[in-house]
């Protein structure tokens, strides 16, 4: 009598398959856990390297040098707070800070109002890409080139600006050679160059405002002026706040326009803080003192940025 043989069990095979696939599953989960971290780190690495080499290290080095006497020819000599005490008692430093603040108020005031008007007109009347390109054109020119061109155009004897004034029967104005005209002129030159870029930043913010709000306001009979104050300004506030922070920081660092037009003159009327720091470092080789003034400027800008951020509530939006 033959005994029927039972079919072979497949349980060991399933166990073997499970033993083979379990490590693969763990590896797949590990890869999913890592996500795009290594790839992101690879792309961030060049920017991080640039930040460490060109921003963080020079900042830390400058803070250290601010406590030393250093002239490039000898090793830095630690002097403690001597540079800061000298800065507090330096009338030229305070005069340079006052000139810089005057420049910032003129530049930021005119630039912000003009850029806001241009952005609103671009958004409400036309959104032509060609017109936006024309508005941005002055920003494509370097500050040095723009300064030299305006220096020639505003020359007291040969500049086309004074030729036009004389053509209207007005007296010639020494725009860059008179103490009362120099800083406003430099501020307006930089307004001309940067207003297009600032306007496009604000225009991008206006694009985020839903058109439905304007349509509803028109149905209710609201005028353009009322819609500007009741809809545009409140909803544009976060973008406008960030733009103000950026432009204020940039205005406090004005240097190249002054260097190629007035070189700090006449009679230190345009001796802005950055130009005074440059003269102290590379003109008189007082790198320790120049570093102390740079640290003071860093503290001032940090305080202004903090106050602006809190007062304008740049991190919050009224858009639901």
Both tokens of 181, joined, read: 């005209």
Cβ–Cβ < 8 Å for 280, 290: yes
> Mean per-residue pLDDT for 38-42?
89
Examine residue 8 and state whether it is found in any structural domain, yes or no: no
CATH number of the domain residue 124 falls in: 1.10.3720.10
Examine residue 6 and state whether it is found in any structural domain, yes or no: no
Examine residue 216 and state whether it is found in any structural domain, yes or no: yes
Examine residue 79 and state whether it is found in any structural domain, yes or no: no
Q: Which residues on adjacent β-strands are paired with residue 78?
A: 68
**Dist CA 240 CA 197 (whole Å):** 13
Examine residue 42 and state whether it is found in any structural domain, yes or no: no
- The secondary structure of residue 144, as a DSSP letter, is H
Burial readout 240-260 (b: 16 or more C-beta within 10 A, e: otherwise): bbbbbbebbeebbebebbbbb
Both tokens of 148, joined, read: 């030299």
Domain range for residue 104? 90-312
- Range name among 16-25, 54-63, 290-299, 302-311 with the lowest pLDDT average: 16-25
User: Nearest-CA neighbor of 101 among 298, 262, 272, 265?
Assistant: 272
- The answer to whether residue 60 scores a pLDDT higher than 70 is yes
pTM: 0.84
- The answer to whether residue 318 scores a pLDDT higher than 80 is no
Residues 6+ apart with CB under 8 A from 121: none
What pLDDT score was predicted for residue 22?
Answer: 55
What pLDDT score was predicted for residue 123?
Answer: 85
Examine residue 247 and state whether it is found in any structural domain, yes or no: yes
User: Nearest-CA neighbor of 118 among 139, 148, 143, 144?
Assistant: 139
Give the number of domains in the chain.
1
Between 5 and 227, the higher pLDDT residue: 227
**Dist CA 260 CA 263 (whole Å):** 6
Cβ–Cβ < 8 Å for 172, 166: yes
Cβ–Cβ < 8 Å for 224, 124: yes
User: Nearest-CA neighbor of 240 among 55, 111, 99, 80?
Assistant: 111
**Dist CA 105 CA 191 (whole Å):** 12
Examine residue 119 and state whether it is found in any structural domain, yes or no: yes
Indicate the pairing of strand 68-69 with strand 77-78. antiparallel
For the CA atoms of 28, 32, 33, 37, what is the dihedral angle to 10 degrees? 130
Examine residue 237 and state whether it is found in any structural domain, yes or no: yes
């Amino acid at each position: 009598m033959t005994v029927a043989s039972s079919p072979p069990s497949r349980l060991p095979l399933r166990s073997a398959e499970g033993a083979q696939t379990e490590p693969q599953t763990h590896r797949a989960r590990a890869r999913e856990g890592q996500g795009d971290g290594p790839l992101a780190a690879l792309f961030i690495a060049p920017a991080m390297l640039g930040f460490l080499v060109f921003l963080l290290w020079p900042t830390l080095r400058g803070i250290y040098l601010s406590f030393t006497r250093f002239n490039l020819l000898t090793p830095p000599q630690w002097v403690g707070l001597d540079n800061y005490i000298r800065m507090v008692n330096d009338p030229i430093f305070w005069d340079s800070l006052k000139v810089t603040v005057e420049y910032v108020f003129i530049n930021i005031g005119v630039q912000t109002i003009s850029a806001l008007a241009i952005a609103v007109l671009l958004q409400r009347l036309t959104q032509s890409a060609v017109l936006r390109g024309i508005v941005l054109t002055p920003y494509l020119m370097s500050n040095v080139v723009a300064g030299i061109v305006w220096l020639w155009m505003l020359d007291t004897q040969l500049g086309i600006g004074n030729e036009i004034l004389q053509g209207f029967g007005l007296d010639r104005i020494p725009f860059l050679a008179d103490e009362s005209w120099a800083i406003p002129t430099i501020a307006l030159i930089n307004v001309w160059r940067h207003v297009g870029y600032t306007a496009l930043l604000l225009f991008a913010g206006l694009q985020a405002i839903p058109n439905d709000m304007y349509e509803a306001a028109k149905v209710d009979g609201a005028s353009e002026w009322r819609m500007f104050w009741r809809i545009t300004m409140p909803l544009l506030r976060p973008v406008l706040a960030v733009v103000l922070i950026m432009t204020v920081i940039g205005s406090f660092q004005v240097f190249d326009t002054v260097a190629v037009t007035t070189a700090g003159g006449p009679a230190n009327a345009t001796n802005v803080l950055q130009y005074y720091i440059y003269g102290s470092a590379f003109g008189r080789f007082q790198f320790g003192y120049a570093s102390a003034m740079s640290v003071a400027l860093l503290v001032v800008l940090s305080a202004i940025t903090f106050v602006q951020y809190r007062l304008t509530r740049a991190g919050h939006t009224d858009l639901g």
